[in-house]
Amino acid sequence: MDELRLAGAKAAEIMADHLAGVADRPVWRPVPGDELAWLTGQDLPEEGRPLDALLEDAREHVLPYPMGNGHPRFFGWVNSPPNPAGVVVEPLAAAFNPSCAGGDHAGPHLERAVVRWLAGLVGFPHPPGGGLLTSGASMATVICLATARQRAALADGWDAREEGLSGRPAMVMYVTEEGHSCLHKAAQLLGLGARNVRTVPVDAAYRMDVAALRAMVAEDLAAGLRPFCVAGSAGTVNSGAVDPLDEIADVADEHGLWFHVDGAYGALGILADGAAPHYAGLERADSLALDPHKWLGVPVGCGCALLRDPSAARAAFSLVPSYLVDENAGDLGWFAEYGPEQTRPFRALKTWATMSYLGRSGITRLVNHTTWLARRLAELVAEAGDFELMAPVTTSITAFRHTPGSGDLDALNRALPVAVQRRGNAFITGTRLSGRDALRACFLHPDTTEQDLVVLLDEIRLAAKRL
Ligand SMILES: Cc1ncc(COP(=O)(O)O)c(C=O)c1O
């Protein structure tokens, strides 16, 4: 144990040095060839190696090549820096090493509290057992849509788990073109068929056109199909748009559709000053995906599926073989009965630590600061003659593009993200909006400043000149 004690102290030092130095290093740099060879090509050692040597290797060969998301000028995709409280308890979770499938130990009990906190933060109803932590929103979405699928089948008098989908009217789901790819992946995985996922048009602000949704549902019903689910977004990945959730909930009510909300990234935006009206109707959803490993900064991976009626998820997943029967499980049973995972990691500890460390006011400050950055970047873009805003700012994402001249702006903006990333001073990613190539900056870092926004625009200009 002396070796562990010494190595633990050293690991803490390496971790603190790493985090303290992030802002002084390049945001990102490509992994050089020799390091790539070390990372990918090494052989399994014949004899075990001491802890100290492993830590030295991690310091020398791993930590210098980050993805970049710890840096205050990382604006790519939706990837936050790790909250220090989440970081510091990760080794404790590993040392404790429970499976949070269920049972009477600290892990599952703490998970109940954390899920309740998450629901409470965003104003989602929380009956006992109304959710579970997952690897991320992709898995949360699988859980929610599988639950919706089984509920629709049972409502129609059959059992999708028992029979499979063959010979039944196609189940149809509705999502906008701005809906996250995980919705499509989940639908495909669940055997619904990509062709039965309808693309609902969006308005000029990239929000679902609810009149079009209504018409599409009517058309599918007339064709003898089975509309069963509509998925709205509370914060799209492209522009941070929030769909008109209340109006979507009306359509879901009218037609008995399951109403799922993808709030993986953006649900917490409801906490920003003045933002609540954009989110009206969120509380009417049947299920909500919300990722603690996004805006909250809980170290990867932690998602959450919240369910208005947890018994529906249990009906979709519960399968308890004799070797797992737990007479003391209580009314709610085990978490493993509410999703596909059996052995489940202790995700609750890092989530509990992060949320407790920030407190409600700290979380609200983080959301207000990062949404302000997105609005401020939009102002800088509007003031500059060589940039153009591509979408209104609702959450903490600014979608825009560089317009230095009259050349091929799509080609330019398509090439810019990698060119900016390679300079190492800022990290931005791209997308397409309304068929045009765009840049998007997502703000999640508490230490990003207004000056960082100025640097970002200058970096884009410099990268464009060298293309
Ligand atoms: C809006 C949105 N939904 C869903 C997802 C999928 O989440 P995860 O990567 O945690 O599976 C993401 C990921 O970035 C996202 O931004």
Please say whether the beta carbons of 275 and 371 come within 8 A: yes
Q: What is the pLDDT of residue 424?
A: 97
The response to whether residue 182 sits with its C-beta less than 6 Å from ligand 1 reads yes
Nearest atom (ligand 1) to Cα of 235 = 1
How many of the other CB atoms lie within 10 Å of CB of 43? 5
Grade residue 125 by pLDDT with cuts at 50, 70 and 90.
Answer: very high
Please say whether the beta carbons of 271 and 213 come within 8 A: no
- Distance CA(225)–CA(455), nearest Å, equals 52
Residue nearest to atom 16 of ligand 1 (CA): 237
Pick from 188, 282, 185: nearest CA to 232: 282
The response to whether residue 76 sits with its C-beta less than 6 Å from ligand 1 reads no
Residues 6+ apart with CB under 8 A from 23: 71, 72, 447
- Distance CA(215)–CA(131), nearest Å, equals 32
Identify whether 76 is preceded by a cis peptide bond (ω within 30 of 0). no
- Please tell me the distance between residue 266's alpha carbon and the centre of ligand 1 in angstroms: 10
Give the pLDDT mean for 426-451: 98
- Distance CA(419)–CA(415), nearest Å, equals 6
Please say whether the beta carbons of 303 and 290 come within 8 A: yes
What residue spans of 104-136 are helical by DSSP H?
106-122
The partner residues of 185 in beta bridges, in order of sequence, read none
Provide φ and ψ at 454, rounded to 5°: -65, -45
Residue nearest to atom 5 of ligand 1 (CA): 137
- Distance CA(86)–CA(70), nearest Å, equals 13
The response to whether residue 180 sits with its C-beta less than 6 Å from ligand 1 reads yes
The response to whether residue 303 sits with its C-beta less than 6 Å from ligand 1 reads yes
What residue spans of 123-244 are helical by DSSP H?
137-155, 160-163, 181-189, 210-222
Please say whether the beta carbons of 264 and 104 come within 8 A: no
The response to whether residue 142 sits with its C-beta less than 6 Å from ligand 1 reads no
Residues 6+ apart with CB under 8 A from 393: 240, 371, 374, 375, 378
Give the pLDDT mean for 237-244: 98
Pick from 155, 132, 173, 112: nearest CA to 317: 132
Helix (H) or strand (E) holding 226: strand 226-233
Give the pLDDT mean for 284-311: 98
The partner residues of 438 in beta bridges, in order of sequence, read 431
pLDDT at 380 over 70: yes
The response to whether residue 262 sits with its C-beta less than 6 Å from ligand 1 reads yes
- Distance CA(301)–CA(249), nearest Å, equals 30
Grade residue 231 by pLDDT with cuts at 50, 70 and 90.
Answer: very high
- Distance CA(280)–CA(324), nearest Å, equals 41
The response to whether residue 178 sits with its C-beta less than 6 Å from ligand 1 reads no
- Please tell me the distance between residue 183's alpha carbon and the centre of ligand 1 in angstroms: 9
Pick from 54, 51, 53, 82: nearest CA to 66: 82
Q: What is the pLDDT of residue 378?
A: 98
pTM of the model: 0.97
Provide φ and ψ at 82, rounded to 5°: -80, 135
Pick from 65, 5, 71, 4: nearest CA to 31: 65
- Please tell me the distance between residue 137's alpha carbon and the centre of ligand 1 in angstroms: 5
Give the pLDDT mean for 289-305: 98
Residue nearest to atom 2 of ligand 1 (CA): 264
Q: What is the pLDDT of residue 148?
A: 98
Q: What mean pLDDT is reported for the chain?
A: 97
Burial per residue of 392-427, b for 16 or more beta-carbon CB atoms within 10 angstroms, e otherwise: bbbbbbbbbbbbeeeeebeebbbbbbebbbebbbbb
- Quick one: tokens of 166? 């063959």
Give the pLDDT mean for 383-403: 98
The response to whether residue 295 sits with its C-beta less than 6 Å from ligand 1 reads no
The response to whether residue 265 sits with its C-beta less than 6 Å from ligand 1 reads yes
pLDDT at 1 over 80: no
Provide φ and ψ at 436, rounded to 5°: -120, 140
Grade residue 445 by pLDDT with cuts at 50, 70 and 90.
Answer: very high
Give the pLDDT mean for 172-189: 98
Residue carrying the six token digits 């932690």: 302
The alpha carbon of residue 210 and the mean position of all alpha carbons in its chain are separated, in whole angstroms, by 24
Give the pLDDT mean for 243-264: 98
Pick from 305, 292, 308: nearest CA to 349: 292
Please say whether the beta carbons of 282 and 341 come within 8 A: no
pLDDT at 26 over 80: yes
Nearest atom (ligand 1) to Cα of 183 = 4
- Quick one: tokens of 181? 């790819």
Could you tell me what percent of the chain has a pLDDT over 70? 100
Pocket test for ligand 1, best of 75, 175, 182, 295 (most atoms within 8 A of CB): 182
- Distance CA(360)–CA(121), nearest Å, equals 8
The response to whether residue 264 sits with its C-beta less than 6 Å from ligand 1 reads yes
The response to whether residue 269 sits with its C-beta less than 6 Å from ligand 1 reads no
Reduce the secondary structure of 382-406 to three states and give it as a string: HHCCCEEECCCCCCCEEEEEECCCC
Q: What is the pLDDT of residue 428?
A: 98
Cα Rg of the chain (Å, integer): 23
Residue nearest to atom 10 of ligand 1 (CA): 136
Question: What is the DSSP pairing of strand 287-289 with strand 303-307?
Answer: antiparallel
Q: Is 207 left (phi over 0), alpha (psi -120 to 50) or beta?
A: beta
Q: What is the pLDDT of residue 360?
A: 98
pLDDT at 44 over 90: yes
Grade residue 406 by pLDDT with cuts at 50, 70 and 90.
Answer: confident
Q: What is the pLDDT of residue 405?
A: 86
The response to whether residue 243 sits with its C-beta less than 6 Å from ligand 1 reads no
- Distance CA(181)–CA(442), nearest Å, equals 18
**SS3 state of residue 91:** helix
